[in-house]
Amino acid sequence: MIATCRKMNAAGLNQGTSGNLSLRVAEGFLLTPTGMDYDVLEPEDIVLMRLDGSHEGRRLPSSEWQLHRDILVARPEVGAVLHAHSMFCTTLACLRRGIPAFHYMVSAAGGVDVRCAAYATFGTEELARRVLEALEGRKACLMANHGMLALGAGLAQAFKLAVEVETLAAMYWRALQVGEPVLLDDEEMARVLEKFKTYGQQSPPGGR
């Protein structure tokens, strides 16, 4: 988890102590602590959270613990949740603008677009509810006036998707500086989503 947190900073997904990361475990989930610089984190600083909201460890959990908990409860296929205040995703989120089908790679987030969740105060039950709505049928979303969020089966998948969504946000933002991008229609996006079911999968050794 700590290595992934530091990769978030190195990749430009995070600045300072913003953002947080969780990982499902048998007892509940592990979560980054509140307000700590990732560069000084030690394993003992990671907080064990239970689904009832209780926690143990020497640090207090991220203020967004309920967001992570509610996603992990609602989405059993998800093993890791990554939240960041990445520059381009947050810029679009402050405009309360999602990412439409301007590029086929939007499908990497699971649908025909990346929605922007309606605004709610950070660390609240209302925010968790609105993010879950934006994540319906999706693996990532923007969060109005806040940031972005990416889901994965594990840490590596959540990080990879977060980088992809931030890249898409940067490309979309740049396209908007010139004009309004041409969007792919629903029929094309349906074809792309079907192809994404096997995208990136390699044949086993010796296979054809």
Active site (catalytic) residues: 64
What is the secondary structure of 5-31 as a DSSP string? HHHHHHTTS--TT--EEEEEETTEEEE
d(CA 139, CA 168): 14
Phi-psi region of 16 (alpha: psi -120 to 50; beta: other; left: phi over 0): left
**Residue 206 CB partners (closer than 8 Å, separation 6+):** none
d(Cα 173, Cα 161) in Å, to the nearest integer? Answer: 18
Distances (CA, A) of 156 to 151, 163, 206: 10, 11, 26
Per the listing, tokens 């074809």 go with: 191
